[in-house]
Chains A and B, each alone.
Chain A
Amino acid sequence: MAKESKIKCVVWDLDNTLWDGVLAENDALVLRENVVRVIRTLDERGILQSIASRNTFEPAMERLRSFGLADYFLYPQIHWNSKADSIAQIAQSLNIGLNTFAFVDDQPFERDEVRFVLPEVRCIDALEVDGILERPEMNPRFITDDSRKRRAMYQSDLLRNQEESAFSGPKESFLATLQMVVTIAPARREDLQRAEELTVRTNQLNATGYTYSYEELEAFGHSERHRLWIVSLDDRYGTYGKIGLVLLETTAETWTIKLLLMSCRVMSRGVGSVLINHVRREAKRHGVRLLAEFVSTDRNRMMYITYKFAQFREIEALGAGGVTLLENDLDTIPPFPDYVQVNLVDLDSH
């Protein structure tokens, strides 16, 4: 599974990879054929890009700016340290898994170092740049509005994060300055591609790790026995896009949360609890029991903790398929925190 996962970030070397020539040797630098097209196309597909180059930061950025490419790269690592460290740093800053990274470099030595230290990263010889766009792992199944806006969304995250590190005071007060608006709405047809993308892309904040295809999600959208809600988040820096998904299996007596997931980009925003408390409130209003399925993976402990802190209790440990069943007593449901405004769009309409 790890090896086949789709690429979410391509990290480029500069000298003799992005351009022909070596910056530090004052060569006349010429962009390599096709590189610009590859960078633009990956960007449109919602694949993030960064730089790992052994160079001095400012002159290299200056060249990228003069080529009109600087904006394409998030958290560029341009210094004299190890490229494996650089890639690990980028992965941490973007908060995405290393198994979704590809690294392009012309030097076998650099690729070997990365391969040795970070075996999950896929290393690509700069000579193979032309074929990059055709590789299956570089082709997301759908290109959604959210994929096209992905880089811009990460760039506004960068601003928020800078603001946040500069902010002194409790976390809750910082969140209040963001003026967040959470919108929870039934998934419509035009949301389903993004919904599928979310089930495929989300690992950490995913309570079950079930993935559903577009067709399955579409069927849930029409099913009397399911509710599929999609969550978006906006704040004063702009939109985070559609960042969360809930799938409920509903009977007259019981609602079961089959899927509850949130994009890692909103991990620090408190949206998960808003969503869970909303589901609790709706279940209570409909007079049904609320159950939740949880499947433990090596990365989703946070979702288990989220459920437990939202007053779910285990009623059946490790049943078929490693599924733990939890139930919520729906007793004391806290109000939405006052740092966020919640918009609920006709959830009974399906």
Chain B
Amino acid sequence: MTFQAKIMDTTQKIKSFLVKFIRDADVGDDEDLFATGLVTSLFAMHLVLFLEKEFQVKVDNKDLDFDNFRTVNAIVALIEKKQGGG
């Protein structure tokens, strides 16, 4: 898979996950996911567990920075970094 294709794949997987939680399923890649107040503890926990399982990474305490999860693009970047993809 090319780098571009891999990023798109990651983005797609994250968005399909978000759809299960968010009524407004059509979130933009750079849209602030939490501006709407929809972030619940459970959503946060599910998101972290989903990322760890789906992408085989360990989200450490130091990664649990709000900015790493604020947008779809930020999450994709975190996964790339954790997977050593730069």
**Interface, chain A (partner B; CB < 8 A):** 170-173, 205, 267-270, 272-273, 277, 301-306, 308-311, 313-314, 332, 334-338
Contacts and interface: CB of A to CB of B under 8 A. Distances in A.
B39 A309 contact: yes
A204 to B, nearest CB: 10
User: Looking at chain A's contact residues, is the secondary structure mostly helix, strand, loop, or mixed?
Assistant: helix
B23 A305 contact: no
25 contacts: A170-B22, A170-B25, A171-B20, A270-B43, A272-B40, A273-B39, A273-B40, A302-B41, A305-B41, A305-B44, A305-B64, A306-B41, A306-B45, A308-B61, A308-B64, A308-B65, A308-B66, A309-B34, A309-B64, A309-B69, A310-B39, A314-B61, A332-B35, A334-B37, A337-B38
Contact of A334 (B22, B35, B61, B65): B35
B39 A170 contact: no
Interface in B23-79: 23, 25, 34-45, 48, 61, 64-66, 69
Contacts of B41: 205, 267, 270, 272-273, 302-303, 305-306, 309
A334 B42 contact: no
Nearest to B32: A332
A172 B42 CA distance: 11
A338 B37 CA distance: 8
B37 A337 contact: yes
Contacts of A304: 61, 64
A305 B45 contact: yes
Contacts of A302: 41, 44-45
A310 to B, nearest CB: 8
B37 A305 contact: no
Contact of B34 (A267, A268, A272, A334): A334
B8 interface: no
A335 B37 contact: yes
A323 B44 CA distance: 22
Given A309-B69, A334-B39, A337-B40, A170 B45 contact: no
Contacts of A172: 21-23, 38
Given A270-B41, A305-B41, A309-B66, A170 B21 contact: yes
